[in-house]
Amino acid sequence: MPFDANDVDDVRKNSRIPDFPVEPLFIERWSPRAYDGVFQLSETDLMTMLEAARWAPSCYNIQPWRFLYAFRGDRHWDDYLSLLDPFNAGWAAQASALVIVLSDKMMPGDETHPAKPSGYHSFDTGAAWAQMALQATALGYQAHAMAGIFHDQIAEKLQVPKQYQVEIAVALGKRADPAVLPQELQEREEPSQRYGLQEIAFSGLFPTEALR
Ligand SMILES: Cc1cc2nc3c(=O)[nH]c(=O)nc-3n(C[C@H](O)[C@H](O)[C@H](O)COP(=O)(O)O)c2cc1C
């Protein structure tokens, strides 16, 4: 059967089998590199994904996440693409939107407490990215996080104030047939597996035999 980007089974279903029953969305979200380079993502759908991110929990409800975005073909697109490393730019050029995820390194102060550095801005912003990605999958898209980006250039070119840390970029779009990718990437276009739960979760003390 040829790949059909409009068939939710093709977009989301994969070979992953959870050890315990979870909401299907958790295993249907994955990070493809084959995107439909013609499909135009609507602003409404992007806002829905960012809305999901917005409702993430955060330390003291500080909400340190910030998002910058460009749609493929808009006036910022070429700049955004140039801020990805060449490997990522190669496949992400076909995505429908790029989102740069930032986090506020400072906890805001008030009348009684001065502003101070936050220890949880990246942790909280990771939760927001995950919610965005799951919402993308729920809408029939996929989101692919990228740390392979030019962090300093992003800060400079996109006028990010020093208080914010450039975390990742995210490629968003509709999955395409892996055949659109070069051969070596086609072979990697497969949802990855995970450690067993018994390798990552322990009752009580950290078991020495679990040390990697
Ligand atoms: C913070 C972060 C950075 C990542 N950076 C890249 C990247 O630069 N390039 C890339 O192709 N994939 C990148 N990935 C995708 C991971 O390789 C992928 O999430 C991981 O292998 C698990 O696979 P899955 O997302 O398909 O479940 C990144 C993922 C995360 C969460």
In the predicted structure, residue 13 carries a pLDDT above the cut 80: no
Angle at 117 between CA 114 and CA 120, to 5 degrees: 125
Order of strands, sheet of 97-104, starting from the edge strand that comes earlier in the sequence: 65-71, 97-104, 164-173, 142-146
Give the SS3 label for residue 51: helix
pLDDT of amino acid 211: 80
Q: What is the pLDDT of residue 9?
A: 67
Cβ of 136 below 6 Å from ligand 1: no
Cα–Cα distance between 47 and 52 in angstroms, integer? Answer: 9
Domains with residue ranges and CATH for the chain: 36-107+119-185 (3.40.109.10)
Decide: 192 in ligand 1 pocket, CB within 6 A. yes
**Residue 65 confidence (pLDDT):** 98
pLDDT at 1 over 80: no
Q: Quick check: CB of 146 below 6 Å from ligand 1? A: yes
Nearest Cα residue to atom 5 of ligand 1: 146
Pick the residue whose CA is nearest to atom 12 on ligand 1. Answer: 146
What pLDDT score was predicted for residue 159?
A: 98
- pLDDT category at 55 given cuts 50, 70, 90 is very high
pLDDT band of residue 15 (cuts 50, 70, 90) is: confident
Closest alpha carbon to 145 in 12, 31, 14, 25:
31
Q: What confidence category does residue 2 fall into, taking pLDDT thresholds of 50, 70 and 90? A: low
Mutate which of 13, 144, 187 for ligand 1? The one with the most ligand atoms within 8 Å of its CB, which is 144
pLDDT, tens digit (0-9, with 9 covering 90-100), for 67-85: 999 999 999 999 999 999 9
Q: Which DSSP state fits 196? A: -
What is the rounded distance in angstroms from the CA atom of residue 86 to the CA atom of residue 146? Answer: 12
Nearest CA to ligand 1 atom 27: 30
| Alpha-carbon distance values, 118 to 50, 100, 109, 124, 125 (Å) | 22, 20, 11, 10, 12
For residue 68, how many other CB atoms are within 10 A of its CB? 18
At 98-132, the pLDDT tens digits run 999 999 999 988 899 899 999 999 999 999 999 99
* Ligand 1 atom having least distance to the Cα of 31: 26
Is residue 8 scored above 70 in pLDDT?
Answer: no
> Which pLDDT score, from 0 to 100, does residue 210 have?
79
Q: How far is the CA of 110 from the centre of ligand 1 (A)?
A: 38
- Pocket of ligand 1 contains residue 95 by CB under 6 Å: no
Q: pLDDT tens for residues 142-201? A: 999 999 999 999 999 999 999 999 999 999 999 999 999 999 999 999 999 999 999 999
pLDDT at position 18: 93
Q: What is the pLDDT of residue 14?
A: 77
Q: Residue 155 and residue 161: Cα distance in Å, rounded?
A: 7
> How remote is the CA of residue 82 from the centroid of ligand 1, in Å?
19
Q: Is the pLDDT of residue 10 over 70?
A: no
Mean pLDDT of 133-148: 98
Of 32, 77, 2, 38, the C-alpha closest to 188 is 32
What is the rounded average pLDDT of the residues 52-65? 97
Tell me the three-class secondary structure of 146-164, residue by residue.
Answer: ECCECHHHHHHHCCCCCCE
